[in-house]
């Protein structure tokens, strides 16, 4: 979780990682007493390690995520009309966003060979992109008469299927971009999801008419009767890797499994989400199913028994709209309307680290009430907040002398301003750093704590759990070595018999020049 801040400034092993580590951390248990002069997180310290491996901040609501076949890249589509590529190992953006759509991008898919990306948009078109250069391939694929909600490559790479709010599915030649045959008609409402069978012979589609339909990919004819059982819109469909079963997610808050040959339901619905299920995906070995929901969580399910595996994966602060397994099955990517892509350990449900690239979404008002929200309309979440002007839960934090909540941090060192204010105006960068004048690093805040970070002049935070930090004894800047008690090591004989005494501070001043 802390690789990014530590890689930028080694002292933040002690200054930022230690204070924000959960009680179960062996590092915290072993060293907390030795480092009394660090941040003290009074509220907001995590109870246990997060399940998040990495967070990629997109800057716009994420609608779709997909792994390349070799697992090295992740593509994402978002409300800002762009597609982005990310390095799956480091979490860094690859190149510039792919631009060309004139409305939000609702669905993206890698070609099986990883050389191309298909995107479906609410501008009614499908676009193809060169995955290496990011350039558009040919002209937009036109034919739908309403929003395109879903795109999928056939596993043999020869065709693309698209589902639209015009209630049809269309097939396209992946090489030329030309339409293949007539639209597949049969649904009576929006088509929200399409998927090819592993052998490329069959297409499954999920619709707002509450059904799943199967289609012959060669002839375009319907196979059998619609699969019925959901009581609300079907938002997502996925074939198992062996092609024998289909998973579907619905706004009825359930996941269902179907026999792909018979079209019959397999066991009872998988229940556990408390809101719409927006996305489902099978693991590459077919043993697990991941589901993303508008309840802001991802869940894992045993594909054979239908039982939930572990606790929900929590971390997103808004709807989860897309989930995808990495090709080796070790990682799950999730895209959310909280503007992030999160990567999760698919086995243990634990987190990697963080990479954030968007301004801190907090709105202070005249009463110093901090309204934290990732929602599209903050006023709809809260309305008007009013707090008495004489209410101050932290006496001294604004009008009287600075107290332990840190209105002012002082330093004995000349390279730090004589009084450095940690206040509502303290910069909190896109990458989580709170900085001093001159862009000097003060401390790093984990993503889960940023939205609810209580500044000294802030009385209350709405919309996020509060993070309250005591900085009274915080040693920082070139003074950072005071975070640990000064320890004189036992004298050691040298080869010449001369005894020397080395302090912790002098060692660290040699190793690191300061944050």
- Per-residue model confidence as pLDDT tens digits over 246-303: 999 999 999 999 999 999 999 999 999 999 999 999 999 999 999 999 999 999 999 9
- And the tokens for 502? 């080395």
Report d(CA 377, CA 302) in Å as an integer.
37
CA distances 91 to 2, 105, 353, Å, are: 14, 21, 9
Mean pLDDT along residues 467-491: 61
Domain boundaries, the chain: 3-49+359-482
Residue 467 is given by DSSP the state B
Cβ distance 251 to 229 under 8 Å? no
pLDDT of residue 25: 67
Which tokens sit at 505? 């501070």
Q: List the one residue out of 117, 17, 26, 15 whose CA is nearest residue 76.
A: 117
Q: What does the alpha-carbon distance between residue 300 and residue 287 come to, in Å, rounded to a whole number?
A: 10
More confident residue, 92 or 159: 159
Q: Are 91 and 74 in contact (CB under 8 A)?
A: no
Instruction: Confirm if 228 and 253 have CB atoms less than 8 A apart.
Output: no
Q: Name, of 75-79, 459-463, 486-490, 511-515, the range with top average pLDDT.
A: 75-79
Percentage with pLDDT > 70 across the chain? 62
Mean pLDDT of the region 65-72? 95
pLDDT band at residue 202, thresholds of 50, 70 and 90?
very high
- Report the alpha-carbon distance of residue 465 to residue 379 in Å, rounded: 18
- Model confidence at 486: pLDDT above 60: no
User: Quick check: 464 and 445 in contact, CB under 8 A?
Assistant: no
355 with 298: CB under 8 angstroms?
A: no
CA angle 292, 166, 180 (to 5 degrees): 95
Residues 271, 255: Cα–Cα separation, whole Å: 7
Q: Is 8 helix (H, G, I), strand (E, B) or coil?
A: helix
The pLDDT mean for the chain works out to 77
Quick one: pLDDT at residue 58? 82
Whether pLDDT at 360 is above 90: no
Q: What is the pLDDT of residues 385-428, one digit of tens each?
A: 333 333 333 333 233 333 343 433 333 333 333 334 455 555 66
User: pLDDT grade, residue 3 (50/70/90)?
Assistant: low
Tens digits of per-residue pLDDT, 214-233? 999 999 999 999 999 999 99
For residue 172, the model assigns a pLDDT of 98
Write the DSSP symbol of residue 483: G
Q: What percentage of residues in the chain have a pLDDT greater than 90?
A: 52
> What is the structure's pLDDT at 445?
80
Q: Which of 3-12, 124-133, 425-434, 482-491 has the lowest mean pLDDT?
A: 482-491
pLDDT digits (tens, 9 = 90+) for 155-187: 999 999 999 999 999 999 999 999 999 999 999
Mean pLDDT computed over 108-132 = 97
Please tell me the predicted confidence (pLDDT) of residue 392.
34
> Which pLDDT does position 422 carry in this prediction?
54
**Strand, helix or coil for residue 16:** helix
Give the pLDDT of residue 379.
Answer: 27
Q: DSSP class of residue 413?
A: S
Q: In DSSP terms, which residues pair with 460 in a beta bridge? A: 369
d(CA 73, CA 88): 5
- The DSSP-derived string for 170-218 is EEEETTT--EEEEEEE--SS-EEEEEE-TTSSEEEEEETTSEEEEEETT
Mean pLDDT of 200-204: 98
């Amino acid at each position: 979780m802390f690789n990014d801040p530590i890689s930028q400034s080694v002292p933040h092993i002690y200054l930022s990682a230690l204070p924000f580590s959960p009680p179960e951390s062996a590092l915290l248990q072993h060293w907390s007493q030795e480092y009394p002069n660090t941040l003290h997180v009074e509220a907001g310290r995590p109870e246990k390690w997060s399940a998040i491996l990495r967070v990629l901040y997109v800057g716009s609501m994420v609608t779709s995520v997909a792994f390349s076949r070799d697992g090295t890249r992740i593509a994402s589509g978002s409300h800002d009309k762009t597609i982005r590529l990310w390095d799956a190992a480091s979490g860094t953006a690859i190149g510039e966003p792919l631009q060309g759509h004139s409305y939000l991008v609702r669905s993206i898919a890698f070609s099986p060979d990883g050389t191309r990306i298909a995107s479906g948009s609410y501008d009614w078109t499908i676009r193809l992109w060169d995955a290496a250069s990011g350039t558009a391939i040919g002209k937009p694929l036109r034919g739908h008469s309403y929003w395109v909600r879903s795109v999928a490559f056939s596993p043999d790479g020869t065709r693309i299927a698209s589902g639209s709010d015009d209630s049809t599915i269309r097939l396209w030649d992946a090489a030329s971009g030309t339409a293949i045959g007539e639209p597949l008609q049969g649904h009576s409402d929006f088509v929200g999801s399409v998927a090819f069978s592993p052998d490329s012979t069959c297409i499954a589609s999920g619709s707002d008419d509450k059904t799943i339909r199967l289609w012959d990919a060669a002839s375009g004819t319907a196979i059998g009767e619609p699969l019925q059982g959901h009581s609300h819109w079907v938002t997502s469909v996925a074939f198992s890797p062996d092609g024998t079963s289909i998973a579907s997610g619905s706004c009825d808050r359930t996941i269902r499994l179907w026999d792909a040959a018979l079209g019959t339901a397999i066991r009872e619905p998988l229940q556990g989400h408390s809101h719409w299920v927006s996305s489902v995906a099978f693991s590459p070995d077919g043993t697990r199913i991941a589901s993303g929901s508008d309840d802001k969580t991802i869940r894992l399910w045993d594909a054979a028994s239908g039982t939930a595996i572990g606790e929900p994966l929590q971390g997103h602060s808004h709807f989860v709209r897309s989930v995808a397994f990495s090709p080796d099955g070790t990682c799950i990517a999730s895209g959310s309307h909280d503007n992030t892509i999160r990567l999760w350990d698919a086995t243990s449900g634990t987190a990697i680290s963080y990479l954030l690239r968007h301004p801190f979404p907090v709105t202070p008002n005249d009463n110093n009430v901090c309204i934290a929200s990732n929602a599209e309309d903050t006023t709809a979440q809260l309305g008007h907040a009013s707090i008495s002007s004489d209410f101050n839960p932290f006496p001294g934090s604004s009008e009287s002398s600075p107290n332990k909540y840190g209105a002012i941090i002082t330093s004995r060192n000349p390279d730090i301003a004589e009084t450095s204010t940690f206040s509502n105006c303290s910069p909190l960068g896109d990458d989580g750093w709170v900085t001093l004048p001159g862009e000097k690093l003060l401390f790093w805040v984990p993503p889960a704590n940023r939205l609810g970070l209580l500044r000294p002049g802030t009385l209350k935070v709405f919309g996020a759990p509060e993070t309250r930090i005591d900085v009274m004894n915080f040693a920082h800047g070139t003074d950072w070595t005071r975070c640990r008690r000064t320890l004189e090591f036992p004298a050691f004989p040298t080869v010449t018999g001369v005894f020397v005494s080395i302090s912790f501070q002098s060692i660290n001043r040699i190793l690191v020049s300061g944050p």
